[in-house]
Chain A
Amino acid sequence: AQSVTQPDIHITVSEGASLELRCNYSYGATPYLFWYVQSPGQGLQLLLKYFSGDTLVQGIKGFEAEFKRSQSSFNLRKPSVHWSDAAEYFCAVGPPTGNQFYFGTGTSLTVIP
């Protein structure tokens, strides 16, 4: 069965510190992987995506993610967090064709000064 697990419900980091948000997936075929961010009262904004090729993908706002097939993981990282990064982050997996995404339950990020 397809599923996405984000083990960390909530993470607090200091501004300027590094960040890693974890994502593990279970999918029967080669997945397409995504990270989205949601600010309060807003829709989802795409941070980055992985379809194939280089397993380290760069996204917007200085985020990157690494696909590790052996670990079924797609962790999101940022070397230095800004206060504006405080939001909810969702990892998603989707099929090669079609848009039936499966989302994780999200990780809420708090950034303290």
Chain B
Amino acid sequence: KAGVTQTPRYLIKTRGQQVTLSCSPISGHRSVSWYQQTPGQGLQFLFEYFSETQRNKGNFPGRFSGRQFSNSRSEMNVSTLELGDSALYLCASSSTLQETQYFGPGTRLLVL
């Protein structure tokens, strides 16, 4: 079974732009979560989707948003990029809300 895939793997943007990251969960998985990983803050929870509904949201500004489609694929969007948004964005999927999460390789975003 294929793992979690994230596209693109690397991205360079400039301040003020917006970006959309994509995550395809493991086949059959209905839950997708997003995390931001930075050297200073470590791994921080962004949001969690299950069956197209956002269930939880972390402590991030409204510039960070996401959605999940009927095929469980998920996208996250960051608008008005700031330098501090430079990070590795990790997506994880699980079959239900009580099962183990499996992580993708991440999208590395650099904001200049």
Q: Could you list which residues of chain A lie within 8 angstroms of chain B, going by C-beta atoms?
A: 34, 36, 41-46, 49, 90, 92, 96-106
Q: Which of A96, A98, A103 contacts B43 (CB 8 A)?
A: A103
Please give me the residue from chain B that is nearest to A90 by CB atom.
B43
Q: Which residues of B contact A43 (CB under 8 A)?
A: 4, 90, 103-106
- Decide: A99 near B103, CB < 8 A? Known: A104-B42, A106-B42: no
Name the interface size band of chain B: 20 to 34
Interface of A is mostly: loop
Do B97 and A98 touch across chains, with their CB atoms under 8 A apart? Answer: yes
Do B33 and A100 touch across chains, with their CB atoms under 8 A apart? Answer: yes
Do A99 and B90 touch across chains, with their CB atoms under 8 A apart? Answer: no
Q: Which residues of B contact A96 (CB under 8 A)?
A: 98
Please give me the residue from chain B that is nearest to A96 by CB atom.
B98
Query: B56 at the A/B interface (Cβ < 8 Å)?
Result: yes
Given contacts A49-B100, A99-B56, 18 further A-B contacts (CB under 8 A): A43-B4, A43-B90, A43-B103, A43-B105, A43-B106, A44-B90, A46-B101, A46-B102, A90-B43, A96-B98, A98-B55, A98-B56, A99-B48, A99-B92, A101-B33, A101-B35, A101-B43, A103-B42
